[in-house]
Amino acid sequence: MPHEHRLPERTLLKAAPTPLEIERRGPGAPADVWGALVDHAGRIARDEPLLTRLARHWILSKPDFATALGAMLADKMSCEMTPRDTVAELVAQAITDEPDIAAATLADLSAILERDPAVVGAAHPFMFFKGFQALQVHRISHHLWHAGRHDAALFFQSRSAEVFGVDIHPAAPLGRGVMLDHGTGLVVGETAAIGNDVSILQKVTLGGTGKVTGDRHPKVRDGVLLSAGAIVLGNIEIGRNAKVGAGSVVLHDVPPCATVAGVPARIVGWCKQGAPSLSMNHDLPDE
């Protein structure tokens, strides 16, 4: 029988501030990610006529981050059969019912600003990065799933897969400060779970083995780095601050701080300086 993993589904979004959140705070004040987003969107609206209307519609005309988030997600998820106003109302209600959605999104945006060297301002990931956008769609679908609206949650999952190429089951809990770098081809199964301050690159699969039902997907702990093309299968645990090398196939538990690589994956090193998800160091083995 597979061993048990204790990772409560509804506590991840209510977790204590992540290391990045703490690092970005001044004396007692939260990092002003919203202010940075507005400033950058203002520069985009001024300097690029093509994007003036979009920057105003999603950000500059909005009173707060939650409202801007709702506007962006409604535009991304609506389609001919599900009009924008209907989707906007549903998203707005979800954010109102669970304020932690907006708080987690701010932590995700901070994570990208900290870890991605391609980012030059807060508005770029918010407006253009499909990994970030797909992650926020999942936060809405996860809320709907636990509110008993399974059909609506599965619609959002389907639309996200169609629009972004990212397929995360709405039942799967994700922590704060998560970065989906590129996001393309990401698959996360129903009973998977992802902790805080995790970085995941493109074409990663957190899947089942196809042989069991019930709790059958991986549990990814805080600070983990999953490199491009990593495949992690079964009800196994990727320990805190572990690293999975690009293209690896992981079929067994990975100890905390271990670096694994290969097909099948084996331990090739150990972390020396904290969470690899924060340093984004993909070298093998660790020095």
Q: Same topology for domains 1-165 and 198-287, yes or no?
A: no
Which DSSP string do the residues of 53-108 spell out, in sequence order? Answer: HHHIIIIIT-SSHHHHHHHHHHHHH-BTTB-HHHHHHHHHHHHHH-THHHHHHHHH
CATH of 1-165, one of 1.10.1740.10, 3.40.50.1000, 1.10.3130.10, 3.40.50.150: 1.10.3130.10
Half-sphere exposure of 2 (CA within 13 A, CB side): 22
pLDDT of residue 31: 54
pLDDT band at 110 (very low <50, low <70, confident <90, very high): very high
The pLDDT tens digits of the residues spanning 191-221 come to: 999 999 999 999 999 999 987 889 999 999 9
Distances (CA, A) of 213 to 6, 173, 207: 18, 18, 12
Determine the average pLDDT of the residues in 121-142.
Answer: 97
Q: What b/e readout covers 30-49, taking b as 16+ CB neighbours within 10 angstroms?
A: ebebbebbbebbeebbeeee
Fold of 198-287: UDP N-Acetylglucosamine Acyltransferase; domain 1 (2.160.10)
| Domain spans, the chain | 1-165, 198-287
Across 8-12, 29-33, 127-131, least confident range: 8-12
Lowest-confidence pick of 238-247, 251-260, 274-283:
274-283
Categorize the per-residue pLDDT at 183 as very low, low, confident or very high, splitting at 50, 70 and 90.
very high
Nearest to 182 by CA among 197, 194, 166: 166
Q: Which is higher by pLDDT, 91 or 11? A: 91
pTM of this structure = 0.87
pLDDT band at residue 287 under the 50/70/90 scheme = very low
pLDDT for residue 228: 97
The predicted structure's pLDDT at residue 261: 97
pLDDT tens-digit series, residues 22-79: 333 332 233 589 999 999 999 999 999 999 999 999 999 999 999 999 999 999 999 9
Place of tokens 């949650």: 153
Which of the four pLDDT bands, split at 50, 70 and 90, describes residue 272? confident
